[in-house]
Structure 1
Amino acid sequence: MIYLVSRSISQGRRAGLISLAGTGVGFVVYMLMANLGLAIVFVAVPWLFMGFKALGVLYLAYLAWQALRPGGRGVFDVREYPSDSSARLFRMGLVTNLLNPKVAIMYLTLIPQFIDPDHGHQTVQGLTLGTIQICVSIVVNALIVIGAGGIAMFLRQRPRWANWQRRATGILLAAVALMLAREVPDRAQI
């Protein structure tokens, strides 16, 4: 979501929505992998999952530092970036989502709880539930992308609010990074 918000703020809603299309394709890839049994790698090789998780913790800690350091910048600070092509925005959204192993874990652990072998083919049920999840996720993220530009403009016109938002966001990002770093999942949790 932070990636999508940053694209929407820096390059406009169109860029955010194109990036969202890329993340949506990433969801489809993970859903297909999970339903075809390929995403089991993250469960079978827990150190791989932990490596991705460690990278995520470091990234959140970096974002928190960026927001909390003296002269730091908040997530909703409007910045000028060179415009990326539609293909690059799409590709970056796809790669960002594919580097999130928790998506694969979600498809492997959450969706199977709602599959009933007595109600038809399990793969079809998994694909159906995954498709519903993807649709809901895309709608929610699209609303976030559309709203991010408005929030950025609101904060740009109110520097005191922007400062408060930057600090609150930095503290929340640091808290999430610490919580994720403290989690030491055993094989049952993965």
Structure 2
Amino acid sequence: MSPEYLLTTLVVVLAPGAGVLYTLSIGLTDGARASIAAAAGCTLGILPSLIAAVTGLAAILHTSALAFQIIKVLGVLYLLYMAWRTLRDTTPLAVETSASPRHSMMRTAAKGTLLNVLNPKLSLFFLAFLPQFVSASGPAAVIEMLMLGAVFMLVTLVIFIGYGCGAAWLRRHVVDRPSVQAWMRRSLAGVFVLLGARLAVSER
């Protein structure tokens, strides 16, 4: 595994995107434990795209305009739904005092997973990204791509946890005023809308 791959992976994962913003929003609103669940969910959501790239299914999205458009529309709708839910949530951003219920953690992780599953450009990214760093051929190439993908997922998990826990730490230092909390929610909702708009106008 080359240093170039690790550096490229680090840059790609650090770049702001739907998964990063979701993990940050969970850290700000629900605390560190929930943000870890969000990070895990977003990381798990990478797996279908990785498998699609390795097996060649991503090529279908690249050649089939209908398949790409269907998944893209679902992704846009889900991002808009996230923005709507963020605006509707008026729960005070109280500092976390106890562990969240298990079902809430599962729901948080599931939303993060769905966010990445409904991103058609993720599989196309892997299709273009992984082969550049594969030195083997035949069956060995598949194993190498899976290993590279596993490293990508591990880096994603670690960095997203850092993002989420950092946001949770900042939450503890936010002035406890409804106006500040409302501004934060509007900002997060606006970012989700912008991400949805960018996905809506994206080309392959």
TM-score norm. by structure 2 comes to 0.64
Structure 1 portions without partners, runs of 5+: none
The answer to whether the aligner puts 1:48 opposite 2:42 as a matched pair is: no
Give the Cα separation in 2 of the matches to 1:91 and 1:165: 23
Deviation at 1:65, TM superposition (A): 6.9
Give the Cα separation in 2 of the matches to 1:113 and 1:25: 23
Structure 2 portions without partners, runs of 5+: 1-18
RMSD: 3.7
Give 1:133's aligned residue: 152
Give 1:78's aligned residue: 93
Note the 1:1-190 alignment, pairs <5 A: 1=19, 2-61=21-80, 78=93, 83-85=101-103, 86-117=105-136, 121-157=140-176, 165=184, 169=188, 172-183=191-202, 185=203, 189=204
Count of residues in correspondence between the two structures: 179
In the alignment, residue 124 of structure 1 is paired with which amino acid?
Answer: I
Deviation at 1:165, TM superposition (A): 4.8
CA distances 1:109-128 after superposition (whole Å, capped 9, x unpaired): 2212222357x932122122
Give the Cα separation in 2 of the matches to 1:57 and 1:25: 20
Deviation at 1:143, TM superposition (A): 0.6
TM-score norm. by structure 1 comes to 0.68
Percent identity between matched residues is: 28
CA distances 1:26-63 after superposition (whole Å, capped 9, x unpaired): 32333233212234332243222222223333444566
Kept after mapping to 2: 8 A contact 1:11/1:83: no
Give the Cα separation in 2 of the matches to 1:89 and 1:175: 21
In the alignment, residue 182 of structure 1 is paired with which amino acid?
Answer: V
